[in-house]
Chains A and B, each alone.
Chain A
Amino acid sequence: MSEQFSRRDFLKLAGLGAATTAILTGCGPASRYVKREPYMQMPEYNYNGQSTYYATTCRECAAGCGLIVRTMQGRAIKTEGNANHPLNLGKTCARGQATLHGLYNPDRVTDPIKAGSPTPMGWDTAIQVVADALKNNNPEEIAFLMGMTPDHLFDLVSDLADATGMNAPIRFGALGMFESRVTLSKAAENLFGVAGLPFFDVGGAQVVFSFGANFLETWLSPVSYTRGFAGLREGVTKQRGKLVQFEARMSATGGKADEWIPLRPGTEALVVLAIGRLAAELKGGSMPRAFSGVDVLDAASRSGVKLETLEHLATMFANSTGALAIPGGAALGQSNGLAVAEAVLALNALVDNFGRPGGLYLSALAPNETDDHRPASAKEMQEFVQKMTDGKFKVLFVHGVNPFFELPNSLGFRSASKNVPLLISFSTFPDETAREANYIFPDHHGLESWGYQRVATGADQPVLSGAQPVVSPFYNTRATADVLIAAAQLAGGKFSQALPFKDEVEFLQGKAASLMNEANGSFSAPDILTFMAYFQQHGGWWKTSEGRGIPDAAGVLNRNLSGDAAEFAGEGEFFFVPFVSPTLAEAGANKPWLQELPDPTTTVMWNTWLEMNPKTARDLHIENDDVVRVVSAAGAVELPVYLYPAIRPDTVAMPFGQGHTAYGRYAEGRGINPNDLLGQHFNEAGDLAFAGMKVSIEKTGRKQHLSRLESMIGVYGEGMGEEH
């Protein structure tokens, strides 16, 4: 035997044997065996072996969509939209579907914890800590930082603050920051005198001009606006309506648009005014003051949009019977963002679509709501952080938001928190903020909790979305409302007078009771218990009549509108456009379903990438997956490049959603947070001018392969040989 039977051959045969066995045994039932835990005590309304369905509210973002959750033997197994809910009419987005991964997340905080202590503390001690914090400090030294959601907990804390002189709760969220909500509502206040979120009826329109609003992915109420988009494409109007998207980097909304206008970042106001002027000329009559000051030729040259294009767009807008213009996202995240928002709203005034189908409305206020409680702007957060730095707060309660991750590093929340002696987080997950807190008193997951949530925008009717537990809590967690009520009772005095409730449910009943006598409700009931039963069963309470307001158009066109270009911070040569990942956003990164869901435009998963035009990349000798260093005035990060032809050559873009340093095993240490590049650069409304940074790009010489769903072969000639 001249040839030896080599070790490698042996391993091959052994491997073959193992694989055969694995495959054959894998066919057997053992691979499918799972354990099942039946109820210990079966609830009386349950049948063994049959699913029970509960109506509740999705808590993954602040929109407030209704959910129907299917449960089997006490376990939630599937979420779907509530078909009767006026906001989402039976639909959900990916985040709503993945809410189960939050419920069953292996990294949840299971018990109340004191930082540094190896053993969990009991709830009695935890409540005592909260009670002491309330009692032993001056009310003005106690602050609440909450998420964007206008929910029952916000009402409870507001009531407590009103009665005791504590600081009113401040609400913040990265989604609100990247959507420039404050700028939009400030523009509405300036023009219409109402500081609410306008509602844009995309569904009934014929021509929609969207300036930066990525409404099919993340903007304000994506499920509602996606439905509107279906309406635009024949659903309502029976004609194929047109969408034109103005943005430097093509989003999925831009991808679905008929025309994508990649204007130079910062010149949005100029383009809007130029279109307005041209459209007004086409319509005839006197030139409105709002558009009279703009030089169209100058606008064309500065924005990089051809004059013919502007003329064609203006014709399309002016000649349509249902034209609508939407401001949002990165267009407002400029130093002149407020001017952009005002100019776009004025464009609507030009075609007089206020309060008409396919036009602009004021969002309906939710039941029980007197005026729109908008979340804080980044500027207000800066003031809040300053107070923390100055030692004005002795106690800071954080719920529903993760400021260590969601606020740009440059605002200094992390270092300011060191000046707050007692930081208590109510987070369900071990996020960045909770990790640094003195105590974590975990709230239930959304599917384990009671509550209600106001629908801020997106529905025709005033909607109060209801939430109820669909499963019993898995861990030793407790509702934050219950913790605060119990602590207030312990603290006594004005605290116990402010919250004289047995528990959260009694508080909710008290708030909902006033709706029993309201007219045009989706249901009515003779007593509160029956009313609450219907409230849970229907998934909330809403009016059956239209609740949207009609903006006052008087004087809108008689204002002077500024078309000044935005100012950019930093020395770099590229415009930097951070955008919110539609799947991960501020709190989705700990859910594997969402991590594994390909990004709609690039199909990248599990990572962060820098989008760069192939032409720019060729000039810089950069290829796909090359790691580059992005430097802004505020910081620097390193990440791989994705060559993306649908972006201006002078612009780079990066998704927001990854880059966690905590937040569980699926989120931690993965990707980059674009917030690290953002400086303290605000617009007139106080929103962060997040798209107003310039960055420079340096090669590092390293490569990091991005996991993508699509193959790159054949894309931009890759892998096709030199001739392509």
Chain B
Amino acid sequence: MIKRTFDWLIQPLGLIAVGIAFLALFSLAAYGIYETQQTPEQPIQFPHRTHVAFGIQCLYCHPGAARGPAAGIPSQSTCWGCHEQIAKTQTSLLLKPLKDAVESGTPIEWVPVAIVPDFVQFNHRAHVAAGQNCENCHGDMTKVTIAENPQVMNMGWCLTCHVESAGDDHEKLIKLADCGTCHY
């Protein structure tokens, strides 16, 4: 059966079929990968750049970044603390989901954009303490509406930064390049 298939495949028509099949698979896969790299749908088109432009610090809404592993998503009361006093909140179509959620007492379901797999133990606190700025990993939020990932957060990317940060300090390099630093 396999031999017959192979014989058929090496004749000209077969080669063309193989080519078409390969192209189809390749484009399907490319499309699939492209799809997965898109920023997820969010319940509110939250404009990061507007908020940053008003001078609001990252840590005002994501205070967990300075204290512990997860930066956290702000509670509705954090949003409402300001928006309650802004007249536009009552009329803006863009802000209607927030207004509705607060008034009906239903939680807003956000989709975190930058997440690492469960086998990676990522702690924001250590990175903030080491003097890393938010934009080093999350990109320039003065330019985006919904948060986007400017880079693929994979192991190579993490490790490159760790090695660069260590510089010539050999002891630091051992600590930062150790598997157990992130996988424990």
Which residues from chain A sit less than 8 Å from chain B, CB to CB? 1, 3, 5, 9, 13, 16-17, 20-21, 24-25, 27-42, 47-51, 72-73
Interface size on B, residues (CB 8 A): 49
Which residues from chain B sit less than 8 Å from chain A, CB to CB? 4-5, 7-8, 11, 13, 17, 21, 24-25, 28-29, 32-33, 35-38, 40, 62-65, 67-78, 101-102, 105-112, 115, 117, 124, 149
- When distances are taken between beta carbons in the complex, the residues of chain A under 8 Å from B21 are 13, 17
Of all A-B residue pairs in the complex, the 8 with the closest CB atoms, nearest first, are: A49-B64, A28-B36, A49-B72, A25-B32, A48-B72, A37-B107, A50-B68, A49-B70
- B36–A47 contact, CB under 8 A? no
Beyond A29-B115, A32-B117, A48-B75, whether A3 also contacts B7 by CB under 8 A is yes
Beyond A24-B33, A49-B67, whether A39 also contacts B75 by CB under 8 A is yes
Partner of A36, one of B4, B76, B78, B111: B111
Q: Give the Cβ gap from B149 to chain A, nearest Cβ, in Å.
A: 7
Partner of B105, one of A38, A40, A51: A40
Beyond A1-B8, A33-B40, A41-B77, whether A49 also contacts B65 by CB under 8 A is yes
Beyond A28-B37, A29-B36, whether A38 also contacts B63 by CB under 8 A is no
- A24–B76 contact, CB under 8 A? no
With CB as the reference atom, state the residue of chain A lying closest to B43: A35
- A36–B73 contact, CB under 8 A? yes
With CB as the reference atom, state the residue of chain A lying closest to B118: A32
Partner of B29, one of A24, A32, A35, A48: A24
- When distances are taken between beta carbons in the complex, the residues of chain B under 8 Å from A38 are 72-76, 107-108, 110
Beyond A39-B76, A48-B62, A50-B68, whether A29 also contacts B37 by CB under 8 A is yes
- When distances are taken between beta carbons in the complex, the residues of chain A under 8 Å from B110 are 35-38
Beyond A17-B25, A31-B36, A38-B72, whether A48 also contacts B77 by CB under 8 A is no
Beyond A47-B68, A49-B71, A50-B68, whether A36 also contacts B36 by CB under 8 A is no
With CB as the reference atom, state the residue of chain A lying closest to B29: A24
Q: Give the Cβ gap from A209 to chain B, nearest Cβ, in Å.
A: 43
Beyond A1-B11, A17-B28, A49-B70, whether A36 also contacts B64 by CB under 8 A is no
- 11 interchain pairs, CB-CB under 8 A: A13-B21, A25-B32, A25-B35, A29-B37, A32-B117, A35-B109, A37-B107, A42-B77, A47-B63, A49-B70, A49-B71
- A47–B29 contact, CB under 8 A? no
Q: In the complex, what distance in Å separates the CA atom of A28 from the CA atom of B29? A: 11
- When distances are taken between beta carbons in the complex, the residues of chain B under 8 Å from A20 are 25, 28-29
Q: Give the Cβ gap from B108 to chain A, nearest Cβ, in Å.
A: 7
Interface centre among B38, B65, B107 (most CB of A within 10 A): B107
Interface centre among A16, A27, A28, A48 (most CB of B within 10 A): A48
With CB as the reference atom, state the residue of chain B lying closest to A24: B29
- B107–A30 contact, CB under 8 A? no
- B35–A49 contact, CB under 8 A? no
- A21–B28 contact, CB under 8 A? yes
- When distances are taken between beta carbons in the complex, the residues of chain B under 8 Å from A48 are 62-64, 71-75, 78
- When distances are taken between beta carbons in the complex, the residues of chain A under 8 Å from B24 are 17
- A3–B107 contact, CB under 8 A? no
Q: In the complex, what distance in Å separates the CA atom of A486 from the CA atom of B109? A: 35
- When distances are taken between beta carbons in the complex, the residues of chain A under 8 Å from B72 are 38, 47-50, 73
- When distances are taken between beta carbons in the complex, the residues of chain A under 8 Å from B105 are 40
Q: In the complex, what distance in Å separates the CA atom of A27 from the CA atom of B40? A: 15
- A50–B115 contact, CB under 8 A? no
- When distances are taken between beta carbons in the complex, the residues of chain A under 8 Å from B75 are 38-42, 48
Q: In the complex, what distance in Å separates the CA atom of A35 from the CA atom of B29? A: 26
- When distances are taken between beta carbons in the complex, the residues of chain A under 8 Å from B64 are 47-50
Q: Give the Cβ gap from A48 to chain B, nearest Cβ, in Å.
A: 4
Q: In the complex, what distance in Å separates the CA atom of A42 from the CA atom of B110? A: 16
Q: In the complex, what distance in Å separates the CA atom of A547 from the CA atom of B50? A: 65
Partner of B109, one of A9, A28, A29, A37: A37
Q: Give the Cβ gap from A12 to chain B, nearest Cβ, in Å.
A: 9
Given contacts A27-B33, A33-B111, A36-B109, 6 further A-B contacts (CB under 8 A): A5-B8, A21-B32, A29-B37, A40-B77, A47-B64, A49-B69
Q: Give the Cβ gap from A167 to chain B, nearest Cβ, in Å.
A: 42
Partner of A30, one of B4, B36, B101, B112: B36
- When distances are taken between beta carbons in the complex, the residues of chain B under 8 Å from A28 are 32-33, 35-37
- B29–A34 contact, CB under 8 A? no
Partner of B33, one of A9, A25, A47: A25
- When distances are taken between beta carbons in the complex, the residues of chain B under 8 Å from A30 are 35-36, 38, 40
- When distances are taken between beta carbons in the complex, the residues of chain A under 8 Å from B101 are 40
- When distances are taken between beta carbons in the complex, the residues of chain B under 8 Å from A3 are 4-5, 7-8
Q: Give the Cβ gap from A545 to chain B, nearest Cβ, in Å.
A: 39
- When distances are taken between beta carbons in the complex, the residues of chain A under 8 Å from B111 are 33-36
- When distances are taken between beta carbons in the complex, the residues of chain B under 8 Å from A72 are 70
Q: In the complex, what distance in Å separates the CA atom of A49 from the CA atom of B58? A: 13
Q: In the complex, what distance in Å separates the CA atom of A3 from the CA atom of B112? A: 53
With CB as the reference atom, state the residue of chain A lying closest to B30: A24
Q: In the complex, what distance in Å separates the CA atom of A32 from the CA atom of B17? A: 35
Q: In the complex, what distance in Å separates the CA atom of A16 from the CA atom of B22? A: 11
Q: Give the Cβ gap from A33 to chain B, nearest Cβ, in Å.
A: 5
- B149–A29 contact, CB under 8 A? yes
Q: In the complex, what distance in Å separates the CA atom of A25 from the CA atom of B111? A: 18
With CB as the reference atom, state the residue of chain A lying closest to B8: A3
- When distances are taken between beta carbons in the complex, the residues of chain A under 8 Å from B73 are 36, 38, 48, 73
- When distances are taken between beta carbons in the complex, the residues of chain B under 8 Å from A41 are 75-77
With CB as the reference atom, state the residue of chain B lying closest to A23: B29
- When distances are taken between beta carbons in the complex, the residues of chain B under 8 Å from A47 are 63-64, 67-68, 72
- B29–A21 contact, CB under 8 A? yes
- A42–B63 contact, CB under 8 A? no
Q: In the complex, what distance in Å separates the CA atom of A36 from the CA atom of B149? A: 18
Q: Give the Cβ gap from B63 to chain A, nearest Cβ, in Å.
A: 5
- B78–A40 contact, CB under 8 A? no
Beyond A3-B8, A40-B107, whether A25 also contacts B36 by CB under 8 A is yes
- B71–A36 contact, CB under 8 A? no
Q: Give the Cβ gap from A30 to chain B, nearest Cβ, in Å.
A: 4
Q: In the complex, what distance in Å separates the CA atom of A41 from the CA atom of B102? A: 10
Q: In the complex, what distance in Å separates the CA atom of A319 from the CA atom of B62? A: 67
Q: Give the Cβ gap from A29 to chain B, nearest Cβ, in Å.
A: 6
With CB as the reference atom, state the residue of chain A lying closest to B109: A35
Q: In the complex, what distance in Å separates the CA atom of A36 from the CA atom of B111? A: 6
Q: In the complex, what distance in Å separates the CA atom of A3 from the CA atom of B5? A: 8
- A37–B67 contact, CB under 8 A? no
- When distances are taken between beta carbons in the complex, the residues of chain A under 8 Å from B36 are 25, 27-31
With CB as the reference atom, state the residue of chain A lying closest to B101: A40
Q: In the complex, what distance in Å separates the CA atom of A40 from the CA atom of B70? A: 18
Q: In the complex, what distance in Å separates the CA atom of A104 from the CA atom of B69? A: 24
With CB as the reference atom, state the residue of chain A lying closest to B124: A49
- When distances are taken between beta carbons in the complex, the residues of chain A under 8 Å from B69 are 49-50
- A40–B13 contact, CB under 8 A? no
- B32–A49 contact, CB under 8 A? no
Q: In the complex, what distance in Å separates the CA atom of A36 from the CA atom of B113? A: 11
